[in-house]
Structure 1
Amino acid sequence: MDRLMGWSRDRGEASLSDVHRSIPVHANASTWRRAMAFVGPGYLVSVGYMDPGNWATSIAGGAQFGYTLLVIALMSNIMAIILQSLCARLAIASGRDLAQACRDAFPKPVAWILWLFAEIAIIATDIAEVVGTAIGLNLLFGIPLEIGVVITALDVFLILYLQKLGFRWIEAFIIVLLGVIAVCFAVQIAMADPEWGAVIKGFAPTTEIVTNPAMLYLALGIIGATVMPHNLYLHSGVVQTRAYGRSDPEKREALKFATIDSTVALMFALLVNASILILAAATFNKTGNAQVAELGDAHSMLAPLLGSMLAPKLFAIALLCCGLNSTVTATLAGQIVMEGFLRIKLPPWLRRLITRMFAIIPAAAVTILYGESGTGMLLILSQVILAFQLPFAIVPLVMFTRDRAKMGALVAPAWLTVVSAVIAAIIIALNMKMLYDIMVGA
């Protein structure tokens, strides 16, 4: 069957086999009930907007350049909506996640290289989570950063507990924490009282972003922090937890509901993502503190600038929630990547510990050698690494979803393929421009 559909190899075991098609979609239920069955995966994906690495790039961008980079947050959101819709299309049409599709479609050497890049991206994501969670623990409870980095390894037990309860519990956990983050930022924005006219202007494009190397570096970091490579693998796996029908009409309906879910979740996430930048612009840039990039510095300066001790507490709570959220999604993405590319199935706790060890070593080294001053740069660097890895996930995704032999009736329309290809070209061009700036020392 797989070969008849244009795939060179059998799929093998289903993506996330322990929860594959575990959430029922009742064909005889109302349209509303069927749509609600698909609510959840989009919110797992939206966590990529709010992970601690995104905080570092958004705070640095808002502090240095005010509201100018809001247009990058908007552009990143649009890119994410389009690309995540392609992920859902690939999964529902072919029954494969992106890692499985790459393994099946490419020669082994190419697939191994793509696997290596995907693992590097997940490690970069995990570094951001380790550092961000450690800073959150330090800000809330005074735990030293070095100890906080080690404590983050224990989050594997949280994930194991949620997995035992069922996949819906994992989604509920994510959504509740997202709600806490949104409330925290809503209160802080109200305290900061930004210039709303300048905020609106910030969503308009400007050529300065490309011509200014420092602004481009942060802009690329924001794109990397938003359209995260592991999210593409993640969404193509978790959408298959729904037991939708096998016929083409049922698959089309599943794609429609999955796309609505991810679009709504990402639009909600844009509000939170933009709030981080707006808060930094309204507090730090407005008062001349343009060099604020460290999360600890941002936390300590909020109280005197906003005249309230509530603001830094909310900041720390939201940061810790972000770290916990990102932990869950990165674990699932890591499982999808390893099993999909290599067909190696490890227990979730072992997979999590391996990934986290690769993240803890550099994070611990930086905190020990440079203390808090080095964590901000490490977070921003991790997001730039993600931006460089993006094309190696986006290009195969576009290739697969435009192939009628592989996708059947759910092949991507021509306009969607063109738009997706333009997104890939923009990201590759930005990467090349930044690499050139670094090499010539601009």
Structure 2
Amino acid sequence: MDVLGSKQDSGWRNKRGEASLSDVHRSINVSQSGSRWRRLAAFAGPGYLVAVGYMDPGNWATSLAGGSKFGYALLAVALLSNLMAIVLQSLCARLAIASGRDLAQACRDAFPKWVSIPLWALAEIAIIATDIAEVIGTAIGLNLIFGIPLELGVLITALDVFIILYLQKMGFRWVEAFIITLLGVIAVCFGIQIFLADPQWGGVIRGFFPTTEIVTNPEMLYLALGILGATVMPHNLYLHSGIVQTRNYGHTLPEKKQALTYATIDSTVALCFALLINASILILAAAAFNSTGRTEVAELGEAHSLLAPLLGLAIAPTLFGIALLCCGLNSTVTATLAGQIVMEGFLKMKLQPWIRRLITRAIAIIPAAFVTIWYGDAGTAELLILTQVVLSLQLSFAVFPLVMFTASKAKMGQLVAPIWLSGIAWLIAVVIAGLNVKLLVDFVWG
């Protein structure tokens, strides 16, 4: 029996319900007798599923625009974004391990229905917006590699449900292996492209140090806000707090403390990998476009078509397309899991994964198909931007409850976040909220 958990339930309005992702809950054993490396390896995986959300097609567009327009200068913003993400994702692991709840269950058990139901609706909107970005990114990837028209590519993305169902049947470790393999392909693709682009490494290093120009130059500030404002995907917070619980880490306080340490290491390492990919996109854009005077490249298709003549090899745009397609497929898996966590956590409503996936994907395909048919490439680029604005709008409604729960000793017991960590987290939450308000105001006023 989870004695610690039962004591901590006194800090919640409602008792804990069903386990998060019950079909895979605590399905991966963690040996308490093996070496530290073996135990750390047992926890490796969830962080990489989370990292996928930090390199979705919407982030690609922002990084391409920043690199082509201002060279390496905005690498400092990408680094700051990543540090903020590391803090928030560590809180997700803390919430899950300390309370036995994912973020959706925590909101349901902490707030009255008139608060939790709107939070659920906002989370669903965020997942649909994420899915639209994935549909577009995957369709563009199929178009760039195989020449498949965007309209047909959007429809083909519905078939990815079968990939997810097959992987989930084989076990959660296979889902993680699929994600990590595709992340490896993405890293290789960008590694080759950056080698071909031959960036100025002195400029790259300097780019990680912030300059006053980021604040004084209005155009640079706007792009910096774009990178920061879309740094943390709302669905990632729900996702991480659920998939951490796939590990069977025990119920005692020492076991939970150890689990928190290993889970935090896992997410931190994985997010550093995400920073590497995002920085690679920005570095590639700076080296290939900014250095040749092409400072207005922001669309994925445009970037793809320019890479071959600029880098001198026909394989460069193919690698770009492969990496984009892998990102789309990866994001598909994580959005499906996040959708399952959100619906079951907030509503205690269980749907078969394939039904849940088809509903979500259908809602995403309809606007994506309409825009691609009527407006073409330019329309999809604008729709990508719109999805980022929608995600920005919802983000604070996930961040503030997370920070509030993990700072409460009544809810977290002895695993409550230290005062210094809660202070940093509250600062991050306020900064993200302020930046997102600025982005929304700019969007509304054109």
Give TM-score scaled by structure 1 length: 0.97
- Residue 324, structure 1, aligned to residue 329, structure 2: yes
1:5 corresponding residue in structure 2: 10
Output the amino acid matched with 2:386.
Answer: L
- Residue 128, structure 1, aligned to residue 128, structure 2: no
Please identify, of 358-367 and 319-328, the stretch whose mean Cα deviation from structure 2 is larger: 358-367
Question: Of 52, 69, 72, which residue of structure 2 is paired with 1:64?
Answer: 69
How many corresponding residue pairs? 441
**1:435 and 1:33 mapped to 2: Cα distance?**
46
2:185 corresponding residue in structure 1: 180
**1:118 and 1:399 mapped to 2: Cα distance?**
18
Question: Which deviations, in whole Å up to 9, do the C-alpha atoms of 1:89-116 show, x marking residues without a partner?
Answer: 0000000000000011111111111111
- Cα 1:429–1:302 shift into 2, 3 Å: same
TM alignment of 1:377-396, pairs within 5 A: 377-396=382-401
Q: Which secondary structure does the structure 2 equivalent of 1:37 belong to?
A: helix
1:150 corresponding residue in structure 2: 155
**2:220 and 2:135 mapped to 1: Cα distance?**
26
Contact between 1:70 and 1:274, CA under 8 Å: does it hold in 2? yes
**1:428 and 1:7 mapped to 2: Cα distance?**
26
**2:433 and 2:291 mapped to 1: Cα distance?**
33
Structure 1 residue ranges without an equivalent (≥5)? none
TM alignment of 1:260-409, pairs within 5 A: 260-409=265-414
Output the amino acid matched with 2:298.
Answer: A
Offset at 1:128? 0.9
Offset at 1:3? 7.0
Question: Which deviations, in whole Å up to 9, do the C-alpha atoms of 1:336-389 show, x marking residues without a partner?
Answer: 011111111111011111111121111111111111122222222212322222
Question: Which deviations, in whole Å up to 9, do the C-alpha atoms of 1:421-442 show, x marking residues without a partner?
Answer: 110111111122234444555x
Please identify, of 431-440 and 413-422, the stretch whose mean Cα deviation from structure 2 is larger: 431-440
**2:215 and 2:282 mapped to 1: Cα distance?**
19
Contact between 1:68 and 1:202, CA under 8 Å: does it hold in 2? yes
Contact between 1:213 and 1:437, CA under 8 Å: does it hold in 2? no
**2:31 and 2:310 mapped to 1: Cα distance?**
53
**1:261 and 1:6 mapped to 2: Cα distance?**
28
Offset at 1:268? 1.4
Give TM-score scaled by structure 2 length: 0.96
Q: Which secondary structure does the structure 1 equivalent of 2:351 belong to?
A: coil
Question: Of 204, 207, 228, which residue of structure 1 is paired with 2:209?
Answer: 204
Identity of aligned residues (%): 74
**1:356 and 1:5 mapped to 2: Cα distance?**
39
- Residue 191, structure 1, aligned to residue 196, structure 2: yes
1:249 corresponding residue in structure 2: 254
Contact between 2:72 and 2:282, CA under 8 Å: does it hold in 1? yes
- Cα 1:51–1:7 shift into 2, 3 Å: same
Output the amino acid matched with 2:30.
Answer: V
Contact between 1:303 and 1:309, CA under 8 Å: does it hold in 2? yes
Question: Which deviations, in whole Å up to 9, do the C-alpha atoms of 1:147-188 show, x marking residues without a partner?
Answer: 000100110000000000000000000001000000000000
Offset at 1:247? 0.5
TM alignment of 1:51-90, pairs within 5 A: 51-90=56-95
Offset at 1:224? 4.6
Contact between 2:27 and 2:247, CA under 8 Å: does it hold in 1? yes
Contact between 1:2 and 1:10, CA under 8 Å: does it hold in 2? no
Contact between 1:2 and 1:8, CA under 8 Å: does it hold in 2? no
Offset at 1:5? 3.2
2:3 corresponding residue in structure 1: none
Contact between 2:44 and 2:263, CA under 8 Å: does it hold in 1? yes
Please identify, of 315-324 and 66-75, the stretch whose mean Cα deviation from structure 2 is larger: 66-75
Contact between 2:193 and 2:319, CA under 8 Å: does it hold in 1? yes
- Cα 1:206–1:185 shift into 2, 3 Å: same
**1:362 and 1:148 mapped to 2: Cα distance?**
14
- Residue 115, structure 1, aligned to residue 116, structure 2: no
Please identify, of 169-178 and 209-218, the stretch whose mean Cα deviation from structure 2 is larger: 209-218
Question: Which deviations, in whole Å up to 9, do the C-alpha atoms of 1:174-215 show, x marking residues without a partner?
Answer: 001000000000000011111122212222223444455544
1:24 corresponding residue in structure 2: 29
